[in-house]
């Protein structure tokens, strides 16, 4: 029997499940996005060595919760289907994070959250777990020493995060939350020897999956320490991690993403994905792409000044899309960016081979 290790298609994309939105876009419609990322907090309590957004400087800026909630109501009405609270900083540093998550769900939008898990205590998870489709903890080592070195924090945080994961899994089980709990490790030379240890810890904590993801250099990041990691020696990890897989737990080794690091071409010449997603930062700015936060060419407006629909149909976004369709060379973009698989899919849709009718 084949075990599907990646049932949530984390190493792929999910746009094929939204044929109507894609069809409207193909017909030239000015569609609203399916998915948006939201940064509730610019501040972070860790300083991970691989942090792609170090250039944003972890400023203590917090999204206005009342304002976001009113925009979420509007976004749900417009057809935004999911939001992920993540971001420039640690989302749980925002004091009203549970309120924003619960409001997203009430607005008809699926909500998810990524966190380093340090502040994920049982009380907080209990207040928002029912509204979350999934929650993913970023934990990048299997021992307190390595964890402290990579997250650049104290060793005690490692045990605290594991205890929080155990508590969250227990609360989810006892309350019958449908929230899928997972964890993620960015594979680095410093933690590769601890991946199997972490897989055992995460499984025993009661989570549903652990993602192993390669690093990719963000072009604006201050750090370039990991720019040239050779992942070839780590590919054998995929087989070794198979032993952790069972009906309740999966290790999702992002082999497809790793193998793409070595490809010469991205498989598409232009970015077609921007109509399908968006990013709202801690200042309330709406961006076309999370790989270009801070780059004014991708800023569509601010939710404090305009409604979401007004921003989405506004002149800044029109000019940005014009720039992206005519001028942006995707070779300049972050390799394996969030929309890479979506772009490959869309590019093939609009540039089909001559044999597609032979289904
Ligand atoms: S980074 Fe990716 S999603 Fe962003 S503009 Fe480039 S190709 Fe598009």
Q: Tell me the per-residue pLDDT of 251-265, one tens digit each, with 9 for 90 and over.
A: 999 999 999 998 888
Question: Is the pLDDT reported for residue 162 higher than 80?
Answer: yes
For ligand 1, is residue 291 a contact (CB within 6 Å)?
Answer: yes
* Residue 5 binned pLDDT confidence (cut-offs 50, 70, 90): confident
Q: What is the pLDDT of residue 192?
A: 97
The per-residue pLDDT for 87 is 81
Report the separation in Å between the CA atom of 271 and the middle of ligand 1, taken as the mean of its atom positions: 6
Kindly state the percentage of the chain with pLDDT values over 70.
99
Query: Are the C-beta atoms of 311 and 284 separated by less than 8 Å?
Result: no
Residue 2 pLDDT grade (very low, low, confident, very high; cuts 50, 70, 90): very low
- Structure confidence at residue 4 as a pLDDT band (50, 70, 90): low
Angle between helix 340-350 and 19-26 (nearest 10): 50
**pLDDT band with cut points at 50, 70 and 90 for residue 279:** very high
pLDDT at position 1:
38
Residue to mutate, 322, 323, 343, ligand 1, most ligand atoms under 8 Å from C-beta: 343
Task: Identify whether the C-beta of residue 254 lies closer than 8 Å to the C-beta of residue 10.
Answer: yes
Both tokens of 247, joined, read: 């009906």
Position 12 scores a pLDDT of 87
Q: Which residues of 254-274 are buried (b: 16+ CB within 10 A; e: fewer)?
A: bbebbebbeeeebebebbbbb
Please determine, for residue 329, whether its predicted confidence score (pLDDT) is greater than 60.
Answer: yes
Q: Is the pLDDT of residue 113 over 90?
A: yes
């Amino acid at each position: 029997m084949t075990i599907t290790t990646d049932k949530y298609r984390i190493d792929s994309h999910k746009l094929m499940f939204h044929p109507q939105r894609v069809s409207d876009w193909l017909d030239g419609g000015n569609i609203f996005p399916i998915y948006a990322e939201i940064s509730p907090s610019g501040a972070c309590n860790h300083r991970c060595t691989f942090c792609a957004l170090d250039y944003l400087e972890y400023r203590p800026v917090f999204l206005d919760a009342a304002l976001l909630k009113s925009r979420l109501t509007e976004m749900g009405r417009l057809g935004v289907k999911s939001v992920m609270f993540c971001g420039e900083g640690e989302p749980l540093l925002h004091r009203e994070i549970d309120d924003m998550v619960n409001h997203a769900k009430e607005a008809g939008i699926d909500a998810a959250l990524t966190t380093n898990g340090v502040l994920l205590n049982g009380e907080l998870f209990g207040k928002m777990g029912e509204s979350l489709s999934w929650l993913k903890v970023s934990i990048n080592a299997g021992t307190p020493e390595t964890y402290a070195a990579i997250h650049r924090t104290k060793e005690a945080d490692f045990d605290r995060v594991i205890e929080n994961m155990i508590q969250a899994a227990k609360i989810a089980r006892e309350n019958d939350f449908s929230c899928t709990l997972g964890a993620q490790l960015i594979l680095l030379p410093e933690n590769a020897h601890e991946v199997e240890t972490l897989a055992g810890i995460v499984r025993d904590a009661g989570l549903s999956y652990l993602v192993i993801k390669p690093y990719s250099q963000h072009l604006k990041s201050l750090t370039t320490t990991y720019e040239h990691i050779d992942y070839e020696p780590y590919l054998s990890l995929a087989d070794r991690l198979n032993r952790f897989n069972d009906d309740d737990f999966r290790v999702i080794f992002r082999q497809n993403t790793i193998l793409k690091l070595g490809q010469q071409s991205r498989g598409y010449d232009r970015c077609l994905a921007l109509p399908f997603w968006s990013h709202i930062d801690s200042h309330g700015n709406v961006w076309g792409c999370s790989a270009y936060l801070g780059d004014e060419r991708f800023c569509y407006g601010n939710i404090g000044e305009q409604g979401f629909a007004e921003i989405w149909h506004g002149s800044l976004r029109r000019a940005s899309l014009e720039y992206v369709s005519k001028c942006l060379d995707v070779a300049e973009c972050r390799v394996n960016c969030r929309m890479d698989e979506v772009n490959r899919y869309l590019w093939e849709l609009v540039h089909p081979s001559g044999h597609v009718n032979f289904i």
